Structure 1
Amino acid sequence: MPRPSILNSVERKFILFVGDLIIILASLNVLVNNAIDAKYILMGIKVIVFSFGITSYLVLAYILEFYNLEKVSNRKKVFSQSLYISGLYVLAVFLFLVIVYDVSFWRMPLLYFLVLTPIEIGLWRLFFRNIFSVIPVTKNVLYIYDGHAMGTVKDDIGLINGDEMKTFYKVKLTYPLDDANYFNKPSFMSAADKIDAYIINLRSYDDLPKDLEKMLLRAILLGREVVTFTSFYENTYEALPIRSRNDSFYEILQLRNRKIRYLGRIFTFSVNFILSIVVGLICVFCIPIVWFLNLFFNKGPLFYTQKRVGLHGKEFKIYKFRSMVVDAEKSGAAMAKANDARITPFGKILRLFRIDELPQIISIINGDMQFIGPRPERKVFVDQLNEMIPYYGVRHLIKPGITGWAQVKYKYGENLEDSIRKLEYDLYYVKNKSITLDFRILFKTVTTVLFSRGV
């Protein structure tokens, strides 16, 4: 008999969210109906407090990855993370009431809201983690592949099992499609009944054996997960597997014609317009300060200019505050890396807080860049990557950006290998570009700057 269906990650996140939401609503109810002095309760204040409380919680939960199941499953961190994030939430609501409405409170109900809410969320999440440490959450996988994927079977299995991050999948059985007798082996048939998910990595799906088709159809009817390797990788890693040996252009990119493209353009224009004003003012304010400090700690030109490859492969000039020594590339083009000796001490501070990126606003005003998009690269590296990767040029279908999906999802690129990994995220963005994804990038960029993490 096949195993009963295992809750997928979306279902587990939903259960976790419902528990959190019940606690949040209960704590807000205590705050509004018991903690606030009744004489301050005006018409509509309850709705406003509830709306602000829920919104602020959702924003913090998203920015700080409160529903990352890998973090939730960590026994040592789940409680402390819960206290930290829910503590920020109750503090935000408290400050909102004090600053906006200038209310007074009854002490004990207020103490319940401020202290017990984080503890309750922490205990609920600890309970959730312990429950799912007993209930099976990892899906047993049958990995089906053909000869075109044989060179990377070990790597693909590592990606499914999660060598870099928890995927909640485990390859228990493989099926090499080129072995005609493999399917009928007794050991295969007995093990197949314990499979929860089927991941397929084939060059073509036109010539599947009839027995395999029947098995997959039966699995679908039983509610089992049947996906291609590309779909699994895209959903799990939020990137595209350009090294899966599946070189079907449609399978990898599957570029879609979006019906609401004009809404996306209006959103992109609005973001560029608003942030150009904000970032432009910050840049103007920083110029005299950076110029003055350069005189003592970073002698040389204030700005650094460089040609980058942009929309449709055309080159344009990019501007930055100089963070490296003068003539940093006199020996030839080289990517920046961690602890790069060419970066000056003052330049490290500029990079830490992303101040060196501010002058790129000039490229946005010139129309060569936008705020959200794949980071532009130099032609010398683009030429090398075009030789190595057949899909690299696809990232030039949209304007490059100051921040992008690769920047908020992956570390600083130090070499061509890192550029290849970042391309997986860039292609994911090109394929799935949307207002929602752009909002996610903006939120993650804010936390990257505030907490000096990420890129």
Structure 2
Amino acid sequence: MRATDKRVLLFIGDLLVTLIALLIALYFWAQGDAWLKFSWKFLNERVPTWFILLPAFWLILLIELYDMRRANSRRETLRGIALAAGIGMAIYLLIFFIAKDPLPRRGVAGFVLAASLFTLGWRSLYINIFTAPQFMRRVLIVGAGRAGSTLVEQIHQIWPPPFFVVGFIDDDPSKIGEDVEKVKVIGGGSDLLEIIDRECISDLIFAISGEMNSTMFNALLEARERGIEVSTFGSVYEELLGRVPIALLQSDWILRSFVDQAHANAFFDLAKRLIDILGGLIGTAGMLLILPFVALATLIDSGFPLFYTQERLGMYGKPFKIYKFRTMVQNAEKDGHARPAVENDERVTNVGRFLRRSHLDELPQFFFNVLKGDMSLVGPRSERPELIEKFQLDIPFYRARLFVKPGLTGWAQVNFGYAWDVPTNTIKQEYDLYYIKHRTLLLDILILIRTVSTVIGLKGQ
């Protein structure tokens, strides 16, 4: 079963158990009603429309569990469901305290509890069944060179594995019978169809970067005609890791495929800007709420100034000033050399350490940068001009991050965290290019939900 089919199955299962949870919540809510009990009159007179929409809200909170890497993991599934329940209850409590009319505490609590338990049960059943060996796709990788070996290396780091790699196919006679990343090269193009039948192959992953001979080409076409799924190395790499393999791409890749795919439509741009404005207003309210406490703590800990400004490059390389609560000692770069923050940075103050871990230091950006339009809620991390000049010499396509607005949070931030050197920034660049290439409102919502998880867990640095 392919990843798309599994996502559909997960969605149908989640929807069914969530609807069951809604019925259970309504039933127990009705038991507290002395007059109507559980009846059509109760549903018509007591239950507001928003309560019936709770299943849709719950499915939105589960959005990160439609990433197959997380859907196959018991630990990630439990974490995702707990996070959904926590966010749901936090939003309810916020509305409860500001709403004029009383809200159904019994009904909401019953729904969240039932939805959490039923979803956990269904997801556990899914993991038990669909990560079993007999349900895994059997895959041949065509090409045992750098691309193929890189893909297998990454697959070995995923548990449970996304599919079973039966072996490599390669037309280089010297590689036949050899092990590449602990996977054997079991034949060439002339053997492909026979191996597909013998090994019950369901998928082929094409990982040849150079020229392909006619025998291999014709074998791949016939395999596709037989119903074998054929995917490219790049698409599988992106699906499994959520990254673009920039080290294995040709220099003209950004012109051949990336520029056209990176263009968003007018509706996306408008919707994203409206979400930015709404989020900017909410974030500004949060900043004003904690401003007196942050100011007092910072002044006691390290004195003035309260805010920190720095020049960054925005969309199309336009410079702008970024604003944050100051978290480092004064003159943290007194030698004049730009240095990115690193883990356990000695320049960070005591108060600054908490602000960074909780990401509260980012709040001024809602008012000074997001509302103004220099930044978006979601996008690549904004970077300093001198660091961009430095990294573009060593990291392919580094300036492509300037195709879109930088963001307060982003796909790279929620998947990788901080980067401090060329290798770690290369990985983050792969995530950023994936976001620019695939960005949608749904992906933005996923990133925002996962950012909440990072803030709640104090995972910042």
* TM-score, length of structure 1 as denominator length: 0.81
Pairwise CA distance, 1:199: 1.6
Match of 1:169 in 2: 163
Q: How far did 1:171 drift?
A: 3.3
Partner in structure 2 of residue 157 of structure 1: 152
Give 5+ residue unaligned stretches, structure 1: 1-6
Are positions 1:325 and 2:329 aligned together?
Answer: yes
1:20 paired residue number: 14
User: Judging changes above 3 Å, is the alpha-carbon distance between structure 1 residues 387 and 8 closer, same or farther for their aligned structure 2 residues?
Assistant: same
In the other structure, the counterpart of 2:362 is 357
More moved, 32-41 vs 443-452: 32-41
1:219 equivalenced with 2:223 (yes/no): yes
Question: Are 2:306 and 2:325, in contact at CA under 8 Å, matched by a contact in 1?
Answer: yes
Counterpart of 1:301 in structure 2 is 305
Offset, 1:275? 2.5
Q: CA deviation at 1:398?
A: 1.6
Distance 1:367 1:19, change over 3 A: closer
Are the aligned partners of 1:152 and 1:245 in contact in 2 as well (CA < 8 Å)?
Answer: no
Instruction: Give the aligned partner of residue 124 of structure 2.
Output: 126
Q: How is 1:132-147 mapped onto 2 (pairs within 5 angstroms)?
A: 132-145=130-143
Tell me which residue corresponds to 2:443.
437
Describe the shift of the 1:43–1:196 C-alpha distance in structure 2 as closer, same or farther (beyond 3 A): same
Report if the CA contact (8 A) 2:193-2:223 is conserved. Answer: no
Q: Secondary structure at the match of 1:306?
A: strand
Alignment length, in residue pairs?
A: 437
Match of residue 247, structure 2, among 226, 239, 243: 243
Q: Deviations over 1:194-234 (max 9, x none)?
A: 23322223346xx5333222322233233322111111112
SS, match of residue 256 in structure 1: helix
> Structure 1 residue 33: deviation in Å?
4.8
Matched with 1:255 is: 259
State the SS of the aligned residue for 1:254. Answer: helix
Structure 1: distance between partners of 2:360 and 2:91? 31
Q: Take 2:361 and 2:87, find their aligned partners in 1: how far apart are those partners?
A: 32
Partner residue of 1:3?
Answer: none
1:45-124 alignment runs, 5 A limit: 48=49, 51-62=52-63, 65-74=64-73, 77=75, 84=82, 118-124=116-122
- Gap regions ≥5 residues in structure 2: 177-186
What do the CA deviations read for 1:411-437 (whole angstroms, capped 9, x no partner)? 222322221111111111222222222
Note the C-alpha offset of 1:176. 3.4
SS where residue 43 of structure 1 aligns? helix
Name the aligned partner's letter for residue 362 of structure 1.
F
Deviations 1:317-351 (A, max 9, x none): 22221111122223432221221111111101111
Q: Deviations over 1:124-155 (max 9, x none)?
A: 43333322344524333322238xxx456533
- Would the aligned equivalents of 2:190 and 2:219 in 1 still touch at CA under 8 Å? no
User: Using the alignment, how far apart are the partners of 2:275 and 2:87 within structure 1?
Assistant: 27
Which whole-Å CA distance do the structure 2 matches of 1:304 and 1:189 have between them? 63
1:342 aligns with 2:322: no
Q: Give, in whole Å, the separation in 1 of the partners of 2:293 and 2:96.
A: 37
CA separation of 1:211/1:411 partners in 2, compared to 1, >3 Å: closer, same or farther? same
CA 1:45 to 1:111, structure 2 compared with 1: closer, same or farther past 3 Å?
closer
Range moving further from structure 2, 392-401 or 429-438: 429-438
- Shift, 1:251, TM fit: 8.6
**Structure 1's 368 and 73: CA in aligned 2 closer, same or farther, altered over 3 A?**
closer
- What does residue 406 of structure 1 align with? 412
Three-state SS of the structure 2 residue aligned to 1:243 is: helix
Distance 2:68 2:195 in 1: 28
Query: Are the aligned partners of 2:400 and 2:433 in contact in 1 as well (CA < 8 Å)?
Result: yes
Instruction: State yes or no: 1:8 paired with 2:16.
Output: no
**Distance in 2 separating the partners of 1:111 and 1:376:** 40
**Partner amino acid for 1:131?**
I
- Separation of aligned partners in 2, 1:321 and 1:97: 31
Q: Distance in 2 between matches of 1:341 and 1:25?
A: 51
Moved more, 94-103 or 360-369: 94-103
What percentage of residue pairs aligned between the two structures are identical?
28
Report deviation, 1:89. Answer: 9.4
Quote the Cα distance in structure 1 between the aligned partners of 2:305 and 2:265: 42
Whether contact under 8 Å (2:151, 2:237) holds in the other structure is no
